[in-house]
Chain A
Amino acid sequence: MGPDISHHPLQGADGSVTFSSNLCSILAAANGPVEVQRRDELPEEAAVEVNIRPPSGVSGPRERWLESVVAAVLRSVLHLHMHPRTLVQITLQITKAPSSTLKGAIRDVALLPSLINASFLALLDGGLPLRSTVAAVFLAVVGMGEVREDPSEKELAGCKSVHGLAYNNHGDLLLSESSGSFDLAEWENIADQAEETCRAAMAPLDEDGVVMKGTMSSGPWLRQELTDKAQAAVAWREAT
């Protein structure tokens, strides 16, 4: 159900995760709160630094733009005021990117939801204080106005527009990036669908464990992953 996630693959970082969706795979590492350089120090909150590395080649302006978008989202998610004059550092290594046959703008928009999901999971793994839970989703409008969630590359071939949106568990919209041709009514429809998917990703589990809702969403993958992880952490309590 949902994307492929593996927890704490790196021993050297405070928190790390590998996150794979249909189009891309990300290895995310989070460190913090650590010592900050004097020039980046903020007097009342933590500074946030995001580093994105492409799968091959040297990082350039495209990565800088992605970093600025991800950093802006994470600033709304982290409890920055709990650790003033420190640094929260997130490194994102794209291990598999969408194929280069797609247009550049589509590839960027396709990467953003995975980057945000991966950073959030890495921050959580590292125990950094967070204000809310975030889920991001990538939607594409294909063919005759049909909306596909987390499409494969084949489905993206003739798409009209692509959209990356992220919502938190208080219902706030944190990310909205789009590319292609669409009008406002279409965007509103897509935003509603994205909100429903993100909410479903964080929906509470019922007694049996998993609630499958509708055909569009991939179930409460975020809630399931985090619940399994938290219960594994206290497994020793049940044993004694």
Chain B
Amino acid sequence: MRYDRDIKNAKAIDRSSSRKTRSIPDITSRNPSPPQLHPHNTPSMEATMVLLPGENVPTDHLPKPKKGKLTLGPGLQHTPPSTISATTAGSLQVDHRKAALWLEHAGGRYQPSVGDLVIAQVHHSSVDTFSCALTPHTSFAILGQLAFEGVSKKTRPQLKAGDVVYARVSKASKWEDVEIECFNSATGKAEGMGQLKGGMVFDVRPAFARRLMMGTDKEGVSKGGVVVLEEVGGKVKFEVAVGRNGKVWVDSGSVRETVMIGQLLRGADEGGWDVEGQRKAVKKALRDV
């Protein structure tokens, strides 16, 4: 499932080479045959009940599926025929429009799923693939050397160990290696993916990265509750790319500005600042620059 692209439009970003961050929902259909559930007439209210591991989702909280298919996100497991149980402790989030439900859990390691935009670092290259790391201490993800826009066998991309790329997960299963690609295989266009030159990569929690990628709603208010980048973009020129695997790449005019943006993001993530707190911290940091 894919949403319209939401381009981050900070005032001073250099448009010609800006990386676009897309708001892609976290929900992937984890089951080969989703359950055929009895439709319910419940109002579309978001449930805030907290489930512990092993507990089943009560049937009155399940959304009414239009086509009879229910999509399960992270934190939920389907046991045929019709039991949905929690695999972690989190608050149950329900989207009645998309007939999807998931558990919201802060922290944890990123698990690759198809369609996610990630920032990968090349570790080494072999005959026709690059081996890239998405998260530390896990097996490498495979990036084909021809998985770029406009390359052929004669003109391959020149990536060395340590280079950073913005890619999309094309294959993720528990039985095989994860595969990523730097172009949209349906259209053949790069769409902002490819090598990220210069700049610096900062670590954030995957849940925070998802909030950054949520984009803005109709009034321009950030859906994820993070305004740091918009506020900073008013005064400082920078490029940013957000990877769902908990990495944010920032490139700005000077090292000081880059580090400042990275520290603001880390602070918003670990400090749990709300919108007002973020604005105050940004103002304070901009005074020194």
Contact = CB atoms under 8 A, between A and B. Distances in A.
Interface string B145-156: 000000000000
A8 interface: yes
Interface in A199-222: 202, 222
Given A126-B109, A127-B109, A233 B52 contact: no
Interface stretch (A77-85, A95-103, A105-113, A174-182): A77-85
Contacts of B50: 226-227, 230-231
Contacts of B52: 133, 169, 202, 222-223, 226
B94 to A, nearest CB: 13
A230 B91 CA distance: 6
B87 A34 contact: no
B53 A230 contact: no
A130 interface: yes
* Residue from the set B53, B109, B225 with the largest chain A CB neighbour count within 10 Å: B53
Nearest to A34: B137
B178 to A, nearest CB: 12
A130 B53 contact: yes
Residues of A in contact with B, size category: 35 or more
A170 interface: yes
6 contacts: A8-B107, A129-B77, A129-B87, A133-B53, A169-B54, A233-B207
Given A126-B108, A234-B93, A237-B225, 12 more contacts: A14-B107, A127-B105, A129-B77, A130-B87, A131-B53, A230-B89, A230-B105, A233-B91, A236-B211, A236-B272, A239-B225, A240-B222
Interface of B: 46, 48, 50, 52-55, 77, 87-91, 93, 104-109, 137-139, 174-175, 207, 211, 221-225, 272, 274-275
